[in-house]
Copies of this chain bind each other. A is one copy, B any other.
Amino acid sequence: MRYIGVDIGGMSIKAGITDENGHIFAKKTVVTQARKPSEEIVGDIERLIRGLLEEQGLSLADICGIGLGSPGSVNDAEGVVRYCCNINFADTPVVGILKKNLGFENIRISNDANCAALAETLFGAGNGASNSVTVTLGTGLGTGIVADGRLITGNKSAGAEGGHIQIGIGGAMCGCGKRGHYEAYASASALLRQTETAMKKHPESLLNKVAAEQGFDGKTVFIAAKMGDKVAKRVLDRYIKYIGMGLVSLANLLYPEVFIIGGGISKEGDTLIKPLQEYVARNIYGAEFNPPIRVVAATLGNDAGIIGAAALTMKD
């Protein structure tokens, strides 16, 4: 069985042919002409798909489904990109146009983060789980929910915004203008803020030395903590607790088999993952009689977008 996944990005559009196990055996990329009219961008996607098939000596008749991952707000059921800040998509019926132009019926679309979550769940760190929550720690905090093997995105796909669940009454200000949201405590940006605050308060800490020597970024606190700096360890312990608190809320509500942690910080591996695993095990509701929940780091990297887009069409 062969599927096509298309990962639409602000810089490039990548298409890949996969099998039913999420293995990519051919890829093709074009530059995104983000300011073109939306119909023309969809035209570029169509040519990319046709070109990829041609290179592989295949035709659309060899393909079971075509999936698309787009940034921005996507209405999955209607196949429409509602808006997208870095590509000229606004209420663009991407799926409808492609179906018509390709003369191909099984085409689906979802938000790119949802695609990545589906890919990791089925073919990456999730190892084929049916129920997962993927939490991506970046500038914001993104979540992708899979329940019974299907993406859960809410009415008009307006949901799965787990960065905006409450974890504190009042508390830290979120990018969305409300206080106390998960993202305001547990995104990579939040860790940077927490680290900076500690550096100002403790100028004697190794944090400042590491930042001065290696540049200040999300790794600073991990490096200083590994060197034994107590201030860095405190920042990190508290940050991990914040991530954990959100995971516990998500667990009690959605009870996944696995939490998949993505974003640059997830590359810190066991330093992050092990204490998170312990926090979740200790704090979930009914820990004594409910099944354990794994916490793992994402593994698919940049291919997750293509694989997840393809996977959108693998289940009815």
Query: A: which residues have CB within 8 A of B?
Result: 73, 82-83, 130-131, 143, 145, 147-148, 150, 152-162, 164-169, 171, 176, 178, 245-246, 248-257, 283, 285-286, 289-291, 293
A245 to B253, CA, bound (A): 15
Q: When the two chains form their complex, are residues B255 and A159 in contact, meaning their CB atoms are under 8 A apart?
A: yes
Kindly list 12 other residue pairs between chains A and B, CB separation below 8 angstroms, not including A157-B255, A161-B253: A73-B289, A148-B152, A152-B254, A154-B253, A155-B255, A156-B290, A161-B255, A164-B249, A164-B252, A165-B253, A166-B166, A178-B283
Inter-chain contacts of A82 with B (CB < 8 A): 289
A65 to B153, CA, bound (A): 29
Inter-chain contacts of A256 with B (CB < 8 A): 154-155, 159
Inter-chain contacts of A168 with B (CB < 8 A): 168-169
Q: When the two chains form their complex, are residues A154 and B254 in contact, meaning their CB atoms are under 8 A apart?
A: yes
Q: When the two chains form their complex, are residues A159 and B257 in contact, meaning their CB atoms are under 8 A apart?
A: no
A177 to B158, CA, bound (A): 33
Q: When the two chains form their complex, are residues A286 and B158 in contact, meaning their CB atoms are under 8 A apart?
A: yes
Q: When the two chains form their complex, are residues A165 and B286 in contact, meaning their CB atoms are under 8 A apart?
A: no
In the assembled complex, the CB of A169 is this many whole angstroms from the nearest CB of chain B, namely 4
Inter-chain contacts of A156 with B (CB < 8 A): 255, 290-291
Inter-chain contacts of A293 with B (CB < 8 A): 155
In the assembled complex, the CB of A82 is this many whole angstroms from the nearest CB of chain B, namely 7
Most buried by B among A147, A162, A171, A293: A147
In the assembled complex, the CB of A85 is this many whole angstroms from the nearest CB of chain B, namely 12
In the assembled complex, the CB of A249 is this many whole angstroms from the nearest CB of chain B, namely 4
Listed from nearest, the 6 A-B pairs whose CB atoms lie closest are A154-B255, A159-B255, A165-B249, A164-B252, A158-B290, A168-B169
